[in-house]
Amino acid sequence: MSNGEIEGKETIVKIDEINALQGNMPTTTGNLYAWNQKGGVIASSTHNITGVYDFVGGTWETTASYIANNQDNLLSYGESVAYEGEKLKTTSTKYTMVYPHDSNIDNPTKQNNTQNMEEAGNANYLQNIKIYGDAIREISTEGNGFSSWLGNSSMFVALGAPFIMKGGDLWYSSHVGTFYFARDDGNNDFAAGFRPVVVPM
């Protein structure tokens, strides 16, 4: 049997229940996936336990990328990345990417509603059309919608969501994948992680 914990209570899932799973559905108790499902080791790049996971819809990948639009969330959730003491970092560093933004449309006076987010996301995307090498402009055609390769979703950073996340998590059943990028407020999330990247010199 497989053991798990939900809301502080131990739950027991019998191996027969896991083996009886079909498609990519979790068990009714414990919300577990079988090893050979998309949510199990088949989600790895080598289709076994030793592969690299989460290329498509496994977890959000947090990046050290943001727009310096003076929103509160930059300080609340990104102080260690976006600030040098009490000063907001407005240019890229060795470890962070600071994207330009359209301060006429994206500024602290705007409310964080859907219409303003989409308008600011598109305006900010247009400010960055000449930036290449970050797998955003190369793979997408606009700042909102399903404009990334393979129909993946694209939501460029805006307003109270100044941080870039990539990939999408397993609950986003469509439009997620390697080419999915989205805006985020920077708050921690059980469905978000990060991946260190080593670049040879």
Listed by start position, the domains of the chain span 2-43, 60-193
Query: Residue 164: in which H helix or E strand, if any?
Result: strand 163-166
**How distant, in Å, are the alpha carbons of 7, 20, 76, 127 from that of 187?**
21, 37, 8, 25
**pTM of the predicted protein model:** 0.70
Asked if pLDDT for residue 66 goes beyond 90, the answer is yes
Beta strands in 28-73 (DSSP E): 60-67
Q: What pLDDT is attached to residue 32?
A: 67
Where are the alpha helices (H) located in the chain, listed in sequence order? 15-19, 72-82, 114-126
CB under 8 Å to 40, separation ≥6 — which residues? 33, 34
Rounded-to-integer distance, Cα 155 and Cα 118, Å: 8
Query: Of 99 and 40, which is predicted with more confidence?
Result: 99
For residues 167 and 176, the answer to whether their CB atoms sit within 8 Å is: yes
In this predicted structure, what is the pLDDT of residue 171? 67
Average pLDDT over residues 88-105: 94
Q: Is residue 27 scored above 80 in pLDDT? A: no
